[in-house]
A and B are shown apart, each in its own frame.
Chain A
């Protein structure tokens, strides 16, 4: 088991990017003709890199993630994900209510082609990883919001994808639960060495988690600016370094939003 994952990781290490978006544009048919939502997005995510995508509501973040996940096609441009199909974690937990927490994960394993006997122990291990060891048989509705998000995270991890896409996964949670899950996510990211593309409209969350923050402008969504975040882990949301960078980014974000008011 350990050796196979090792060789896999080596194979994949030869690829120099986990996701490559080149000149990606997306428009939807709107009431006033074609509405351009994403305009010429070019972005690389390196293997093992944690990138947060920051932008105001409605700027096209979910659209972008859907494109990378292959749920939708770009109008123009190209998207490569050499590591195979990315895992996507939705804003809502998106667990299947007819299955228990553990069976949700087992289904992901099954669809990935994991043999039957290995599914159960692997699902238990993943639940353990998100600190939900005893919850295998729990129904989705018996779990709290934070627990559901963690099961969803475990299910996304079950895809064993080298790229994890997360669409505001913690937006609906209270501040303390969110903070706890931030710690979990950072820990899991460092343990699994996967790349993460994390979407949020919360500046502090972006800074707390990422190695690189990408700011999207609105209407159409374009990459406005990037910051690399060199603050050392473990980080806390209330750290001064996090706060300082957040202030700077928020200033920029405000500018982006103000720009729209002037037209």
Chain B
């Protein structure tokens, strides 16, 4: 009896030793390191671009109505801010973009699942769906205006046509990349049919799905801007696309620059604030992103 006891002790000790030897150490990055490594470089790049821009203006490479100085763009931003329209314009577009994107998610997700899981559906519409991704969504603006008129519905239609294929395709490729072993492991645990889809396939496909969402957002935003630029009408409310179009009509180059910068800024901000952290969190929690 005593001998079995020491044996068990031995075993526990041996195991503890083995585990300590090869367990992975996970380290949190300190804030300072993030600032220096992640925030400083892009800031520097922006400063450099602005400096180069100012230099070009100072060297008078072209007329000022073609290339306004950064300060003029800044002034027009301050003007809009003081009039209280800046945030309003941005919000008009962002709220439209996000609402359209959410509708695209609501439609693209079940569609993607259907294509990924049902053979017939896949061979029927799979190729069309991936083909649609390469169709610029500007192409949809004209028919959308004719079908739906100059209103918000037409904007959402263009967003959906641009973003749904990306989201659905992202999910399909996410599902396709799920290792068969994971599916089989799920099946032996009793996760088949809908339960298998919910507990195994969807979480396993999450990285691909998120990549699709990210691209879906980019497409939503682009489609919306195309729609806003082409189909401006007073009934639609002033969004960033219309702001750009107004600048063009008034030969207001600082206004055009400001609009472009704002469009770019919103696109980057949403990606940086929502999608990148989400994606990194998912990858990190699966050990697919150990460094940085």
List residues of A whose CB falls within 8 A of some B CB: 69-71, 85-88, 90, 92, 94-99, 107-108, 110-112, 131, 139-147, 155, 159, 176-177, 180, 183-184, 234
The closest CB in chain B to the CB of A131 belongs to B15
- In the assembled complex, 25 residue pairs joining A and B whose CB atoms fall closer than 8 Å, in A order, are A86-B188, A90-B181, A94-B184, A96-B203, A98-B206, A98-B286, A107-B191, A110-B199, A111-B189, A111-B190, A111-B195, A131-B15, A139-B286, A140-B286, A141-B290, A142-B24, A143-B23, A144-B24, A145-B22, A147-B19, A147-B23, A159-B188, A183-B11, A184-B11, A234-B7
- Nearest 6 interchain pairs by C-beta: A141-B287, A144-B22, A94-B185, A111-B190, A97-B286, A88-B188
A180 touches B15 (CB 8 A): yes
Given contacts A180-B18, A234-B4, contact A107 B189 (CB under 8 A): yes
Chain B residues near A184 (CB-CB < 8 A): 11
Q: Considering the chains assembled together, what is the distance between the CA atoms of A96 and B290 in angstroms?
A: 18
B285 touches A159 (CB 8 A): no
Given contacts A107-B199, A111-B191, A234-B4, contact A96 B18 (CB under 8 A): no
Q: Considering the chains assembled together, what is the distance between the CA atoms of A137 and B109 in angstroms?
A: 30
* Other A-B pairs, 18, CB within 8 Å; known A97-B287, A131-B15: A71-B184, A71-B188, A90-B185, A94-B181, A94-B184, A95-B185, A96-B182, A97-B288, A98-B203, A99-B203, A107-B189, A107-B191, A142-B26, A144-B18, A146-B19, A155-B189, A159-B188, A176-B14
Nearest CB on A from B286, distance (A): 4
Nearest CB on A from B94, distance (A): 31
Chain B residues near A141 (CB-CB < 8 A): 24, 286-287, 290
Q: Which of B18, B185, B282, B288 has the largest count of A CB atoms less than 10 A from its CB?
A: B185
Chain A residues near B268 (CB-CB < 8 A): none
Q: Considering the chains assembled together, what is the distance between the CA atoms of A180 and B10 in angstroms?
A: 10
Nearest CB on B from A136, distance (A): 15
Nearest CB on A from B245, distance (A): 45
Q: Considering the chains assembled together, what is the distance between the CA atoms of A75 and B9 in angstroms?
A: 48
Nearest CB on B from A263, distance (A): 33
Chain A residues near B103 (CB-CB < 8 A): none
Q: Considering the chains assembled together, what is the distance between the CA atoms of A98 and B282 in angstroms?
A: 8
Q: Considering the chains assembled together, what is the distance between the CA atoms of A183 and B15 in angstroms?
A: 11
Nearest CB on B from A2, distance (A): 23
Given contacts A96-B185, A146-B18, contact A180 B11 (CB under 8 A): yes
The closest CB in chain A to the CB of B14 belongs to A180
Chain A residues near B26 (CB-CB < 8 A): 142
B185 touches A176 (CB 8 A): no
A96 touches B200 (CB 8 A): yes
Partner of A98 from B7, B19, B204, B290 at Cβ < 8 Å: B204
Q: Which of B19, B24, B182 has the largest count of A CB atoms less than 10 A from its CB?
A: B19
Given contacts A96-B203, A183-B11, contact A142 B23 (CB under 8 A): yes
Q: Considering the chains assembled together, what is the distance between the CA atoms of A155 and B190 in angstroms?
A: 12
Partner of A69 from B11, B188, B199 at Cβ < 8 Å: B188
Nearest CB on A from B3, distance (A): 9
Chain B residues near A145 (CB-CB < 8 A): 22
B287 touches A142 (CB 8 A): yes
Q: Considering the chains assembled together, what is the distance between the CA atoms of A61 and B162 in angstroms?
A: 50
Nearest CB on B from A70, distance (A): 8
Chain B residues near A131 (CB-CB < 8 A): 12, 15
The closest CB in chain B to the CB of A174 belongs to B18
Q: Is the C-beta of B153 less than 8 angstroms from some C-beta in chain A? A: no
Q: Which of B181, B190, B206 has the largest count of A CB atoms less than 10 A from its CB?
A: B190
